[in-house]
């Protein structure tokens, strides 16, 4: 199994999503994960098994003018391919059924670092 990044080496919580994404890119999380069609995908590579993807850190954001505008930025790594990247997703009531399903699997991962 792969080495996990040192949690202390990961960026802390930023106030907004964009600076958070910049910090994660600088920390080596350069791939893009996305949820589409009920699957977790790595952009340019295709679907991955979400049970083999670890959350190294999660960051939650609320909209400045609407606290119900909730988003989640996850620093992820795929154990099989060693790809590190980010996933941006809605959470709470704004999350789609597909997002909620994939996030529940990631959250249930016994090796999850978050």
| Domain residue ranges in the chain | 13-108
Q: Is pLDDT above 50 for 2?
A: no
Distance of CA 95 to the CA centre of its chain: 14
Confidence at residue 94, expressed as pLDDT on a 0 to 100 scale: 77
Distance of CA 68 to the CA centre of its chain: 20
pLDDT tens for residues 70-112? 788 999 999 889 999 999 988 777 788 888 889 888 876 666 5
Q: What is the pTM of this model?
A: 0.78
For residues 48 and 27, give the distance between their C-alpha atoms in angstroms, rounded to a whole number: 22
Considering all CA atoms of the chain, what is the largest pairwise distance in Å, rounded to the nearest integer? 43
Give 50's pLDDT tier (boundaries 50, 70, 90).
very high
* Helix or strand holding residue 70 (H, E): strand 70-78
The upper half-sphere exposure of residue 114, i.e. CA atoms within 13 Å in the direction of its Cβ, equals 21
Give me the phi and psi of 93, to 5 degrees please. -65, -20
Confidence at residue 96, expressed as pLDDT on a 0 to 100 scale: 85
Whether the CA torsion 85, 88, 91, 97 is positive or negative: it is negative
Which of the pair, 80 or 13, is modelled with greater confidence?
80
Confidence at residue 25, expressed as pLDDT on a 0 to 100 scale: 94
């Amino acid at each position: 199994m792969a080495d996990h990044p040192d949690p202390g080496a990961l960026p802390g919580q930023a106030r907004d999503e964009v600076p958070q994404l910049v910090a994660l890119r600088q920390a080596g999380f350069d791939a893009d994960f996305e949820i589409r069609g009920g699957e977790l995908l790595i952009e340019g590579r295709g679907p991955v098994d979400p049970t083999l993807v670890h959350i190294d850190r999660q960051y939650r954001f609320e909209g400045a003018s609407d606290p119900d505008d909730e988003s989640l930025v996850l620093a992820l790594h795929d154990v099989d391919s060693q790809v590190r990247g980010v996933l941006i997703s809605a959470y709470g009531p704004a999350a789609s059924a597909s997002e909620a399903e994939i996030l529940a699997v990631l959250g249930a991962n016994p090796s999850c670092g978050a």
